[in-house]
Amino acid sequence: MKLTPIFVTAITLALATSASAQTLTIATVNNGDMVRMQALSPEFTKATGIELNWVVLEENTLRQNVTTDIATNGGQYDVMTIGTYEAPIWAKQGWLVPLDGLSADAGYDVNDILPPIRAGLSYEDKLYAAPFYGESSFIMYRKDLMEKAGLTMPDAPTWEFIGQAARAMTDRANDINGICLRGKAGWGENMAFLTAMSNSFGASWFDENWKPQFDQPEWKNTLDTYLSLMADAGPAGASSNGFNENLTLFQQGKCGMWIDATVAASFVTNPKDSTVADKVGFTLAPDNGLGKRGNWLWAWSLAIPKSSQNAEAAEKFINWATNKDYLATVAAADGWANVPPGTRSSLYANADYQAAAPFAKMTLDSINSADPAHPTVKPVPYTGVQFVAIPEFAGIATNVGQLFSAALAGQMTGDAALAQAQEATTRDMTRAGYIK
């Protein structure tokens, strides 16, 4: 009996505590820039009194959790970390709160956001997610190995030159591969790279009537080039390699070139982890003279689900985490080389940043050369550079990625992989109602 008053007091105290402070639940991925944001976030709490509850998850788990929550109007999260793939699709579904407050805030300066990134996060000209960090892809190469091969890397190389250089830099006896590219199956893995690469070969996923295009010569040219390049100059077991595996190979001096996310530049030039930190050069992703380069565009961004009960406070947090002052806060704490890249024009005009990040100009040029609204040489009915912004894409592209990865592993020919990709994608698009 004596326990009852204690129990009631404890509940009252707990309720009082929870009522006194507003708490935001933020779902994010375990990337370096996000971890830094989490570490700096007590400054936000100190300034606003808003407590933060962090949920840090592996990328695929995060995607599954936030998609389940937003599709069921679950309300577990107030701020979600999403990418340029989800933002327009979820905005069209009415699942996200438009960030009108940020757009109207002169101090936030929404016009400072890099135009391709802003376009990728908008739907019907309204911003639905604020970019936390943005990336394109470019070529990272070993200047010493290029010189040893008697070649000079152009500012804007072609695929023909990359093929020639990769084969010349390959030194199997010393375990040096001329080029390292993604081979691990997945829509965000090998298909991110191959879709961007196919754009520069004049290929596309679909024609204007949503008919799959894997039976066209442009895709055959893309896949044949990729497979022969990897056979002649790629690492063993490349069909299992994603970002992290190639990063490891490059940092340990096993790759002459690596075409991947611009965010990798800070990793490969960090002498703490990279054995080749002082030997790395950067240049634009290759093209074939068709007007499109093989680079992608992505931005990890912060958005507010419609189910959030704390939308106003959530927008305050997003304002704090993605405005210009945040970049200065990171610079003061960890130096300019560690500020989240790829979101704001003003960062690339900053002399301190340019001095600290030798890859800054090339990152900016790569981002600006991507056009999510017109990603391919031929007209297409979709947006997105290394993806097609339709809900069915993740599933379809993962299937196709498995076929292309099998071709890279030598389990089937490139032609067979393309034929099966065409058949499977046609079937899925017909079922989904795109093909009548």
Are 25 and 55 within 8 A, CB to CB?
yes
CB 203, min distance to another protein, A: 26
SS (H, E, C) the chain: CCHHHHHHHHHHHHHHHHHHCCEEEEEEECCHHHHHHHHHCHHHHHHHCCEEEEEEECHHHHHHHHHHHHHCCCCCCCEEEECCCHHHHHHHHCCECCCHHHHHCCCCCHHHECHHHHHHCEECCEECCEEEEEEEEEEEEEHHHHHHCCCCCCCCCEHHHHHHHHHHHCEHHHCEEEEECCCCCCCCCHHHHHHHHHHHCCCCCECCCCCECCCCHHHHHHHHHHHHHHHHHCCCCHHHCCHHHHHHHHHCCCEEEEEEECCHHHHHCCCCCCCCHHHEEEEECCECCCCCECCCEEEEEEECECCCCCHHHHHHHHHHHHCHHHHHHHHHHHCHHHCCCCCEHHHHCCHHHHHHCCCHHHHHHHHHHCCCCCCCCCCCCCCCCCCCCCCCHHHHHHHHHHHHHHHHCCCCCHHHHHHHHHHHHHHHHHHCCCCC
- Residue closer to another protein by CB (options 39, 355) is 39
CB 263, min distance to another protein, A: 6
Using rule CB under 8 A, residue 346 touches another protein: no
Cβ-proximal residues to 94 (8 Å cutoff; 6+ apart), any chain: 306
Pick from 42, 74, 115, 291 the residue near another protein by CB under 8 A. Answer: 74
Q: Please count the CA atoms within 13 angstroms of the CA of 275 that sit on its side-chain side.
A: 8
Are 98 and 128 within 8 A, CB to CB?
yes
**Euclidean distance between the first and final Cα of the chain, in Å?**
72
CB 293, min distance to another protein, A: 21
- Residue closer to another protein by CB (options 159, 258) is 258
- Residue closer to another protein by CB (options 140, 227) is 140
| Contact string (CB under 8 A) for another protein, positions 267-286, x = contact | x----xx-------------
Pick from 44, 70, 77, 162 the residue near another protein by CB under 8 A. Answer: 77
Q: Which residues within the stretch 184-203 sit at the binding site for another protein (CB under 8 A)?
A: 188
CB 377, min distance to another protein, A: 29
Pick from 93, 244, 309, 430 the residue near another protein by CB under 8 A. Answer: 244
CB 183, min distance to another protein, A: 16
Q: Which stretch binds another protein (CB under 8 A): 70-78, 122-130, 142-150, 349-357?
A: 70-78
Using rule CB under 8 A, residue 76 touches another protein: yes
- Residue closer to another protein by CB (options 227, 276) is 276
CB 267, min distance to another protein, A: 7
Q: What are phi and psi of 28, to 5 degrees?
A: -150, 175
Q: Which residues within the stretch 28-47 sit at the binding site for another protein (CB under 8 A)?
A: 29-32, 35, 38-39
CB 216, min distance to another protein, A: 31
Using rule CB under 8 A, residue 334 touches another protein: no
Q: Which stretch binds another protein (CB under 8 A): 48-56, 95-103, 226-234, 412-420?
A: 48-56
Using rule CB under 8 A, residue 27 touches another protein: yes
CB 162, min distance to another protein, A: 23
Measuring CA to CA, which residue among 99, 93, 92 is closest to residue 113? 99
Pick from 61, 93, 413, 430 the residue near another protein by CB under 8 A. Answer: 61
Using rule CB under 8 A, residue 65 touches another protein: yes
CB 64, min distance to another protein, A: 7
Q: Which stretch binds another protein (CB under 8 A): 66-74, 150-158, 176-184, 378-386?
A: 66-74
- Residue closer to another protein by CB (options 34, 153) is 34
Q: Residues binding another protein: what is the number (CB under 8 A)?
A: 43
Which positions lie near another protein, rule CB under 8 A? 25, 27, 29-32, 35, 38-39, 53-59, 61, 64-65, 68-69, 72-77, 188, 242-244, 247-249, 251-252, 254, 261, 263-264, 267, 272-273
